[in-house]
Amino acid sequence: MNQLLSKYLFIYPVRYLRGEHICKYLKEVQNVEKFNEDQLKKYQWSKLNTLISESYNGVPYYHEVFSHLQKNKYNLKEIDDLLPFPTLTKNIIKNNFDNLKNRSVKKSDERTTSGSSGDPLIFHKDRLATAYMDAVMYNSYAWHGINIGDKQARFWGMPFDKKERVKAKLKDFLMNRIRLSAFDLDTDSMMQFFEKLLSFNVDYFYGYPSLIYQFARFCRTHKLNTEKLGLKAIIVTGEMILNGQKKVIEDVFNSRVVSEYGCSEVGVVGFECGKGNMHLMADNIFIEIIREGKHVLDQEGEIYVTEINSKFFPFIRYKLGDRGKLLSKVCSCGIKFPLIEVKSGRIDDYIITPDGKMVYDALLAYTFKEGIHSFKAVQSTVDSLDIYIKKNSDYDDDLERTYIKQLRNKLGNIIDIRIKYVSQIRREKSGKLRYFESKIE
């Protein structure tokens, strides 16, 4: 479908009929992007104060938990003013689901997280929130020359339910995109998808890096002429991308890989600019990095996010479960949005050793590189770590001994490391490929 037809015949009209005024909010976020630091801070504090006031007045849960705070606390001026306010977690949402709704807002949709962390969450998004989420997304894509309605190749999961599959295919059509399902990765399916890419005249890729990497390896193995694709960019999301994967993808498709950091709850949180730095989407979210109960800058801590453009089901100081570092440096690209470095593992994704040491699961990603098609580590007890490997022709006994030695340097000699060879690494229901799973209670 032509880009302009997709944009003006389907995307804009459908959004408008749903009450999502993307055009209006896209102009706003484009304007915010031009703000200097002082203007940006004023914009965010104004939005934050409005959100907290409206949540106190309209959302039963927040009315209760904010009631003990002095009235002047609703006039926030600096980041530490947020510390007296309670944080929000998945468990709090599950236990207070109905009381987190603002009854004055009529239109909303029920959504759910993918559950790739083992803990899916049901929540609601109102039309204001989703309109801003999409406006922010489209604006950040424009940094890399991607326009609304451009043709997308989506590397994602596909619902198993027949009805949901039909809905997904219809949505793909309306959004001007085609999809390679994470569950259809045999030779015939990938060859057919490559031919479809050529006839579709795709503009950019979007999806899980492990899936795009697998497709890139397929194209290279079969010596397919990927130069014909002429991609504007390759946006990866949902998983950590390894340096080796990134290099292969960029070499095969002769296009830049751009990292997106986000979540189902609030949309895009961070996006990589042309200079390779990840900017926070300050036009829609406010980030806190907390370490030992204090806000920190240029130090690693837990990430908390507040969605500043929502009414029905507000996410205020929501604990994402990730770790990151808010940077004081300014990017040379000219955009004044703050910079963030997101660490690879989620807080609950640690390898625990028999002597009680906790090690980031990112250790695995940095260890298993050469000779590995894909891998997954599972820890069922503190005494053992099972590593399932789908190896390629470069894998040999010497390489395996090197890997075990590297793991031992970090995990010690007590834990039992067991290497197991498999023909396929099972993906999550969402299509994601998790490289570590802890089954320890």
Pairwise CA distance, residues 438 & 61, whole Å: 33
At residue 234, the pLDDT reads 98
Please say whether the beta carbons of 281 and 33 come within 8 A.
no
Six-digit token string for 401: 């001994």
Residues in the chain predicted with pLDDT less than 50, given as ranges, are 72, 115-119, 345-348
Q: What's the residue count for the chain? A: 441
At residue 348, the pLDDT reads 45
Pairwise CA distance, residues 4 & 147, whole Å: 9
DSSP codes joined into one string, 320-336:
EEEEEEEE-S--TTS--
At residue 118, the pLDDT reads 38
Return the closest-CA partner of residue 245 out of 277, 207, 290.
207
Pairwise CA distance, residues 204 & 312, whole Å: 34
Please say whether the beta carbons of 109 and 256 come within 8 A.
no
Please name the residues in contact with 233: beta carbons below 8 A apart, sequence gap of 6 or more: 144, 145, 146, 204, 205, 255, 256, 257, 258
- Burial code (b: 16+ CB inside 10 Å, e: under 16) for 54-72 equals bbbebbebbeebbeeeeee
At residue 115, the pLDDT reads 47
The type of residue at 437 is: E
DSSP codes joined into one string, 126-185:
EHHHHHHHHHHHHHHHGGGTPPTT--EEEEE---SSHHHHHHHHHHHHHTTEEEEETT--
Pairwise CA distance, residues 278 & 39, whole Å: 20
pLDDT tens by residue, 100-126: 999 888 888 888 876 444 346 889 999
Please say whether the beta carbons of 345 and 303 come within 8 A.
no
At residue 117, the pLDDT reads 43
How far is C-alpha 202 from the chain's CA centre?
A: 23
At residue 120, the pLDDT reads 62
Query: Rounded to 5 degrees, what angle do the CA atoms 79, 80, 85 make?
Result: 100
Six-digit token string for 375: 């891998």
Please say whether the beta carbons of 424 and 390 come within 8 A.
yes
Classified as helix, coil or strand, 293 is: coil
DSSP codes joined into one string, 333-394:
TS--SPEEEEEEEETT-EEE-TTS-EEETHHHHHH--TTEEEEEEEEEETTEEEEEEEE-TT
Tell me how many helices (H) and strands (E) the chain has.
13, 20
Pairwise CA distance, residues 320 & 342, whole Å: 11
Return the closest-CA partner of residue 202 out of 214, 212, 217.
212
Pairwise CA distance, residues 132 & 24, whole Å: 9
At residue 345, the pLDDT reads 45
Six-digit token string for 32: 């915010």
pLDDT tens by residue, 127-147: 999 999 999 999 999 999 999
